[in-house]
A and B are shown apart, each in its own frame.
Chain A
Amino acid sequence: MAEQPILRAEHLGITFGGLRAVDDFNMTINKGELVGLIGPNGAGKTTVFNLLTGVYKPTDGEFWLDGEKMNGKKTYQVVRAGIARTFQNIRLFKQMTVEENVLVAFNESFSYHMGGAIFRTPRFWREEREMHQKAIDLLRIFKLEGLAQTQAANLPYGAQRKLEIARALATGMKLLLLDEPAAGMNPTETEDLLECINTIRDRFGIAILLIEHDMSLVMNVCQRIQVLDYGRTIASGSPDEIAHNPKVISAYLGNDEDDADTDAEADTADTADATADADGKEEHDA
């Protein structure tokens, strides 16, 4: 393909005091692609997100967004360049309204300065009006426009997840990182979310990298899947290939030696993860 990939990561790795959390992580995502990143708990999936968004500095390797080198940049620089994310434990601006949450992410689209704000110049009003309209339009995609003036903390759980995605979209990104968007959702909400993800990918023509435990979701929407275990990539390919890869099956279900390990993990995992595991098994059987 002649076109530049949106994300190219080469040999990314990070070590925390002797622990190799992510090792030799390679990934290419093209425009409009939806890639899944899966793996057992503690495999380093969220760490990959933190590396890609400048929360952690990689100890080795490099990554590029649209050909622009990104490592070493601060989070806000990476976000402005075009990588936005959501969080595993929802992080909203809880005391602000739904609309304000989105407007914050639009902040960089405003060009009025402090003087403009203080003297309420025509430019101030024009931009504020424009951004308000854009925010409402964006919320409409997620059917949140009716809740625009509600305080974010008072939203139902599913709506909070959606608002977080809307806010990420408002940064005007090229690559969207979704960290377990379906966690804690019931099947209807998950269905709803699936529709949203498809809509935004088609509407905005962006690339999406998705971490998810809900296997049915991953298998349904992702074109490609990459599997992490203990910080290493153990498999990557189409959903079908992944579902039949023996390495993946053993990482998830555990082979003889680390059976006990996996059991312990399942015990400590919350219900959402437990159901995810069950879903995973079904997929493998299929």
Chain B
Amino acid sequence: MSGFVMFISQIFNGLKIGSVYALVALGYTMVYGIIRLLNFAHGDFIMIGAYTLMLSIPALAVMGLPAWTAVIPATLVCALVGVLVERLAYKPVREKGNSMTALITAIAMSLLLENGSQAIFGADFKTVPTIISIPTLTIGQLKIDGATIVSIVLGVIMMAAMQLYVKRTKQGKAMRAVSEDKEASLLMGINVNGTITLTFAIGSGLAAIAALMYCVSYPQVSPTMGMMLGLKAFVAAVLGGIGSIPGAMVGGLAIGLVESLTKAYIGTITGGVITSAFSDAIVFAILIIVLLVRPSGLMGEPETEKV
């Protein structure tokens, strides 16, 4: 019985971190969908969001506001940084260079953000004040902590909201149109550059919410915190099918589950040959297998070149 309870709590653990991955993956996917750029700096937006949370929580407390309201300045700061990165770096490079130079620019932006915040905040870990305290939910032997509940609920709400936004609203339709064909969208009177900027703002804003979810569970920030998180989320986006919103969700949750389950069980299953230290490698191995079998990811649209 306790084995089963442990299994269930591992599932919840996986869903918790998986929701964070999913939200970040959503940002990756939206940006990739619209400008075909792997935005390596996206993981660093989480870091920026986390630092903003760290700084704004005490300030808001002075004003008598609850800690979670810090997500508002965090979202605004992230969206602003995202838009600036797009306008100052990606847009000029996109107009002059090719996909390879765009990718290098994204990597350089990632380095810039990491080293910039290192210069400002220092390289060491800093603690984020408690954001939300929700009592642990106990069902029989099963204990689910508040952070897990918050993450999963928030994740699901954001996903559903984004899906509705992209499918139903005018701007959402513009986004889909631009990602299909920029020139045709231009001819249809869509403000292409405006749409791209909006996409960046939303994608980066989502990273701030992901930062909140992450900091609820792991209240620590450092300049390089976004690197591995971003990489995993990126894997999630590709796994789900980059460019697809439901794909980002599926991919994110899948990566979260794989990670928590391999950490818990891989040692016993393989008799200690492969230990939990391999969990990152397993995540990448799954990605590789999926890409080889379905090159466009689980839910992505296959791209073929017409002869």
Contacts and interface: CB of A to CB of B under 8 A. Distances in A.
Nearest to A91: B307
A56 to B, nearest CB: 9
A46 B307 CA distance: 8
Interface of B: 307
A16 B307 CA distance: 15
A191 to B, nearest CB: 29
Give the interface size bracket for A toward B. under 10
Contacts of A93: none
Interface of A: 46, 50, 55, 87
Contacts of A46: 307
A50 B307 CA distance: 8
Contacts of B307: 46, 50, 55, 87
B151 to A, nearest CB: 40
A220 to B, nearest CB: 28
4 contacts: A46-B307, A50-B307, A55-B307, A87-B307
Nearest to A46: B307
- 4 closest A-B pairs by beta carbon, nearest first, are A55-B307, A50-B307, A87-B307, A46-B307
Nearest to A87: B307
B221 to A, nearest CB: 46
A148 to B, nearest CB: 27
A159 to B, nearest CB: 23
A55 B307 CA distance: 8
Contacts of A87: 307
Nearest to A179: B307
A214 B307 CA distance: 21
Nearest to A85: B307
Contacts of A50: 307
A50 B306 CA distance: 10
B98 to A, nearest CB: 12
A87 B307 CA distance: 8
Nearest to A56: B307
A211 to B, nearest CB: 13
A35 to B, nearest CB: 21
Nearest to B306: A89
A210 B307 CA distance: 17
B187 to A, nearest CB: 15
A54 to B, nearest CB: 11
Nearest to A49: B307
Contacts of A55: 307
A87 to B, nearest CB: 7
B304 to A, nearest CB: 11
A55 B304 CA distance: 12
A149 B307 CA distance: 28
A85 to B, nearest CB: 10
A232 B104 CA distance: 50
Nearest to A75: B307
B133 to A, nearest CB: 54
A2 B307 CA distance: 36
A199 B139 CA distance: 87
Nearest to A47: B307
A52 to B, nearest CB: 12
Nearest to A89: B306
A45 B110 CA distance: 49
A145 B229 CA distance: 57
A180 B303 CA distance: 25
A87 B306 CA distance: 11
A46 B306 CA distance: 11
